[in-house]
Amino acid sequence: MENDYKTLSIIIPVYNEESTLEHLLEKVIHLELSNGAGKEIIIVNDCSRDRSEAIAKEVINRHPDASIKYTRHEVNSGKGMAIRTGLQLVTGDYVVIQDADLELDPEDLNPLLEYLMANDAKVVYGSRFLNLENTHLSKSFYLGGRLVSWATNILFFQHLTDEPTCYKMFDTTLLKSIPLRCTGFEFCPEVTAKVSKLGYKIKELPIHYYPRSTQEGKKIKWHDGVEAIWTLLKYRFIK
């Protein structure tokens, strides 16, 4: 494939992730992207109360040649707001969200990027459910994700298996054109709803998944699933 020297911007929202942040950042920094694509890393510290900020700055100092931008919220504002803050700093051709935990493997960003580049596509999601080797620690998380995906498909005529996936990769121009209002985990259903209403069919590719428990720091709760359904309904029936 011809190299167009594209750049992928990776937004990493961070809130109290001192146990995994260093390892995750090192993996992202050392990630070699397909087709010679460039990489821009944007870390948004959502007012962490642990050592996340110190760890991020230590890693940044170790890699002075890496393209890394760091910013922080003075008040904890939620994942959605962290993504919106990060999006303001994006300069790459494509953009993806990377959680600061180790549930997903950054190597899986390459197939998503390859798909966008090869097909001149605008959006692709990584599905945890399309990879049959993945395990799911919690039945409630599994069923909740399936329910949100089912609701998305009914309301927006998609064929998604994993709407709540973190790995949502977009053409930057498309994502920046969408007026986002989210502050928390409702980023996922909001952006899916709004992309769908623009007429885009969302392609999915399988990704690896290494789930962590609530005791290990997983932050999403059952009520976030309820909010996701409400968000889908809201944006389906309002202009």
What is the spatial distance between Cα 114 and Cα 165, in angstroms, rounded to a whole number? 18
Decide if 232 is inside a domain. Answer: yes
Per residue in 151-170, pLDDT tens? 999 999 999 999 999 999 99
Is the pTM value of this prediction over 0.85? yes
Dist CA 92 CA 94 (whole Å):
5
Decide if 21 contacts 49 (C-beta within 8 A): no
- Domain containing residue 45: 7-237
Contact 231, 186 (CB under 8 A): yes
Tokens, residue 169: 């990769």
What's the domain count of the chain?
Answer: 1
Q: Is residue 33 part of a domain?
A: yes
What's residue 225's pLDDT? Answer: 74
* Percentage of the chain modeled with pLDDT above 70: 92
Residue 180 inside a domain? The answer is yes
* pLDDT band (50, 70, 90) for residue 239: low
Confidence of residue 215 (pLDDT cuts 50, 70, 90): low
Sign of the dihedral through C-alpha 9, 80, 101, 210: negative
Residue 102 lies in a domain: yes
Q: In what order do the strands lie in the sheet with 168-171?
A: 68-72, 38-45, 7-14, 94-97, 168-171, 123-127, 203-206
In a domain, 2, yes or no: no
106 within domain boundaries: yes
Domain annotation covers residue 1:
no
Convert the pLDDT of each residue in 85-127 to its tens digit: 999 999 999 999 999 999 999 999 999 999 999 999 999 999 9
- CATH number of the domain residue 131 falls in: 3.90.550.10
Q: Please indicate, yes or no, if residue 116 is contained in any of the structural domains.
A: yes
pLDDT band at 4; cut points 50, 70, 90: low
Residue 178 has, within 13 A of its CA and on its CB side, a CA count of 27
Q: What confidence tier does 212 reach under pLDDT thresholds 50, 70, 90?
A: low
Question: What local confidence, expressed as pLDDT, does residue 145 receive?
Answer: 86
Task: Give mean pLDDT, residues 1-9.
Answer: 75
Tokens for 229, please give them. 């359904």
